[in-house]
Amino acid sequence: MSVKAAIDIGKVLQPVQADLARVEAKMKSVETSLFAPLAVAFVDLIGSGGKRLRPALALMAANAGKADPAPALDSSVIALAASVEMLHTATLVHDDVIDGALLRRGAPTLNAIWNRGATVLAGNFMFARAALFAAETGNMRVIRIFSDTLETIVNGELRQLLARHNFHQVKDDYYQRIYAKTASLFCAATEAGAVLAGLPETQIQHLRSFGYNLGMAFQIVDDILDFTGDEATLGKPAGSDLAQGTLTLPFFYFLQALPAPEQLIAQMDAAVAEADAGDEQPWQALVPHLVRQVRAGPAIGAARQEAAAFLAQARTDLAALPDTRFRFAMLELCDFVVQRTY
């Protein structure tokens, strides 16, 4: 069995590191538009972001047609990358409110109400900044991609919310959801980056497709990790999607392999009905049991194979692009996403 060296994401992103720093500075430039106490809180919220994969994709795509070494990127590309990451951060901030994470047990305190209101508005402020940054690109096609993607993301979140605890959905609903929730922004970043760089339409489409396939794989791996990870790595208990009533790819494979899936679905429906009636216990007991079963069977492996298939397609999308360190970085991103599955 070969052991691959762990991929250092910092090294992968190195070719766009200097421009990522410009994006970071732009995202944090709220001091003048917001009064001081809030500005500090915002910069914290923005700073607590993750690996900045989405803006990195926009920057890499904008460089993908260039000969090495690439000249400095236009400020419109920095604005695009900041817009993409700000939009992503806004949805994360609102997720807290949607999941009710801020709500204290029992009666809400004044402070909880203040927090909820401030959190909604903090997310809205980020949406506003994202729209402003998109407008700053000055490119109508990019602005349209931005607003289409915003609609797709929100529409997908609404579908996900409505689909919670509906165990009678089909696997296609899952693909729609992860496209809306994740892949749509990945491919908006690569398409818009390519558009701003003035790449030919065929290359724009290759880069868009690359973003789509990478994004689909990324979300599938995320959903796998929610089953296979432990609380220390995930920052939340394993099976949190299932606990929320959201079905993901491993679970669909698990259901598919059962001799009588309808029996399990009936059991899940009953547990949720009891939770609705006030008794959370049956549902809370069922979830960890199901997580163990999904882990033990072939479902995780099957889901991994699907992620790998999306990544293979993503690599193919890059084949037609010039052989630069930016293309190499995008190929390494594919490896990085695979690695997360193990």
Q: Among residues 120 and 255, whose Cβ is nearest to a second copy? A: 120
Query: Residue 30 in 3-state DSSP?
Result: coil
Find out whether the peptide bond into 55 is cis, omega within 30 degrees of 0. Answer: no
Q: Is 43 in the site for a second copy (CB under 8 A)?
A: no
Shortest distance in whole angstroms from residue 119 CB to a second copy: 9
Main-chain dihedrals φ then ψ at residue 311, nearest 5 degrees: -70, -35
Chain residues 216-235 in contact with a second copy, contact rule CB under 8 A: none
Shortest distance in whole angstroms from residue 97 CB to a second copy: 5
Q: Is 39 in the site for a second copy (CB under 8 A)?
A: no
Shortest distance in whole angstroms from residue 176 CB to a second copy: 10
Distance CA(216)–CA(239), nearest Å, equals: 20
Shortest distance in whole angstroms from residue 84 CB to a second copy: 14
Chain residues 135-174 in contact with a second copy, contact rule CB under 8 A: 135, 138, 140, 143-144, 146-148, 150-151, 153-155, 157-159, 161-162
The residue to which tokens 């807290």 are assigned: 96
**What DSSP string describes 235-301?**
SS-TTHHHHTT---HHHHHHHHHSS-HHHHHHHHHHHHHHHHTT--HHHHHHHHHHHHHHHHSSHHH
CB 16 within 8 A of CB 56: yes
Chain residues 77-96 in contact with a second copy, contact rule CB under 8 A: 94
Q: Among residues 191 and 317, whose Cβ is nearest to a second copy? A: 191
Shortest distance in whole angstroms from residue 79 CB to a second copy: 12
| Among residues 7, 43, 131, 338, the one that binds a second copy under rule CB under 8 A | 131
Q: Is 305 in the site for a second copy (CB under 8 A)?
A: no
Q: Is 106 in the site for a second copy (CB under 8 A)?
A: yes
Shortest distance in whole angstroms from residue 34 CB to a second copy: 6
Cβ-based neighbours of 264, under 8 Å, separated by 6 or more: 255, 258
Contact window for a second copy (CB under 8 A) among 122-130, 231-239, 286-294, 311-319: 122-130
Contact window for a second copy (CB under 8 A) among 9-17, 44-52, 53-61, 130-138: 130-138
| Among residues 8, 21, 50, 114, the one that binds a second copy under rule CB under 8 A | 114
Question: In angstroms, how far is CA 33 from the centroid of its own chain?
Answer: 28
Shortest distance in whole angstroms from residue 63 CB to a second copy: 25
Main-chain dihedrals φ then ψ at residue 133, nearest 5 degrees: -65, -40
Distance CA(122)–CA(186), nearest Å, equals: 23
CB atoms within 10 A of CB 213: 24
| Among residues 17, 124, 166, 263, the one that binds a second copy under rule CB under 8 A | 124
Cβ-based neighbours of 75, under 8 Å, separated by 6 or more: none
Please enumerate, as own/partner, the contacts of 31-37 that have beta carbons within 8 Å and a separation of 24 or more: 34/125
Shortest distance in whole angstroms from residue 112 CB to a second copy: 9
Q: Among residues 123 and 193, whose Cβ is nearest to a second copy? A: 123
Give the relative orientation of helices 17-27 and 75-98 as an angle to the nearest 10 degrees: 60
- Interaction site with a second copy (CB under 8 A): 33-35, 37-38, 94, 97-100, 103, 105-108, 110, 113-114, 116-118, 120-125, 127-129, 131-132, 134-135, 138, 140, 143-144, 146-148, 150-151, 153-155, 157-159, 161-162, 275-276
